[in-house]
Amino acid sequence: MIRRKNSMAVWQWGVWMVPRESILKRFERIPEYIDQDWFESVNWWAETDDEQIREFFDRILPRYYAPWAEYTEIWGDIDSDDVSLHVRDSIVADISIRVDLRHLNVEFLKALVNFARERSFVFVSYEFGRFISPSLRQMLDEINNSKKMLFIKNPSEFFKQSRYLEEINKKNREKTKSE
């Protein structure tokens, strides 16, 4: 089961990595979009060995010790590029990736895309629930069309378009009422 997307800085863009085979067990073909609530309720990694995944992440990013993350291994820097591998009972629960758009590391993206292609994984964007094939061009297109990249390029337009502050204030009011 996928964990809800990690909190992210406004300059980070996020995706999950999932096995293509698991998707094709549920759909005739890879859909363009998926309902995120439903997506997050499915264990996409039920039959996947996590050792090769760990070895790959060890090669591309340094490990980050997170004492609060009992079932999570993290690579990279939580304020920049990072990867989180969530494992429960020796089974991968999900892999989430955050990309720092302030300093877009194309080599990091290439490594992820090549690994996904070799292992037959695809990506799912946090922002739109869109499936992204393991293609650097498709990944870069998705990044460039994201609201997160709009923030990097033009923060005032980002805040105008997304009503970002209104949404944050609304969530904070709701949270305060429930406490």
Residues 168 and 81 in one domain: no
Q: Is residue 57 part of a domain?
A: yes
Indicate the number of domains in the chain.
Answer: 2
Residues 133 and 59 in one domain: yes
Any idea what DSSP says for residue 134?
A: S
pLDDT, position 1:
45
Q: Is residue 44 part of a domain?
A: yes
pLDDT, position 101:
97
Q: Is residue 2 part of a domain?
A: no
Position with higher pLDDT, 130 vs 176: 130
Q: Is residue 125 part of a domain?
A: yes
Residue 144 has a CB neighbour count (10 Å cut-off) of: 13
Q: Is residue 26 part of a domain?
A: yes
Residues 35 and 81 in one domain: yes
> In whole angstroms, what is the distance from residue 8 CA to residue 17 CA?
17
The fraction of the chain above a pLDDT of 90, given in percent, is: 55
Any idea what DSSP says for residue 14?
A: E
The answer on pLDDT for 52 being more than 50 is yes
Q: Is residue 68 part of a domain?
A: yes
User: What's the whole-number mean pLDDT along residues 106-116?
Assistant: 98
The answer on pLDDT for 50 being more than 80 is no
> In whole angstroms, what is the distance from residue 166 CA to residue 179 CA?
20
Residues 61 and 93 in one domain: yes
pLDDT, position 70:
82
Domain that holds residue 137: 12-145
Q: What is the largest CA-CA distance in the chain?
A: 48
Q: Are 24 and 66 in contact (CB under 8 A)?
A: no
Residues 36 and 117 in one domain: yes
> In whole angstroms, what is the distance from residue 164 CA to residue 46 CA?
36
> In whole angstroms, what is the distance from residue 34 CA to residue 74 CA?
26
Residues 130 and 177 in one domain: no
Residues 128 and 175 in one domain: no
- 148, two tokens: 């997160």
Residues 176 and 100 in one domain: no
Q: Are 76 and 64 in contact (CB under 8 A)?
A: yes
| Strand ranges (E), the chain | 12-19, 63-64, 72-76, 82-88, 91-100, 121-125, 131-132
The fraction of the chain above a pLDDT of 70, given in percent, is: 88
Please, is 5 exposed, middle or buried when counting C-beta atoms within 10 Å of its C-beta (0-12, 13-18, 19+)?
middle
Residues 28 and 64 in one domain: yes
Residues 178 and 126 in one domain: no
Q: Is residue 46 part of a domain?
A: yes
The model's confidence at residue 161, banded by pLDDT at 50, 70 and 90, is confident
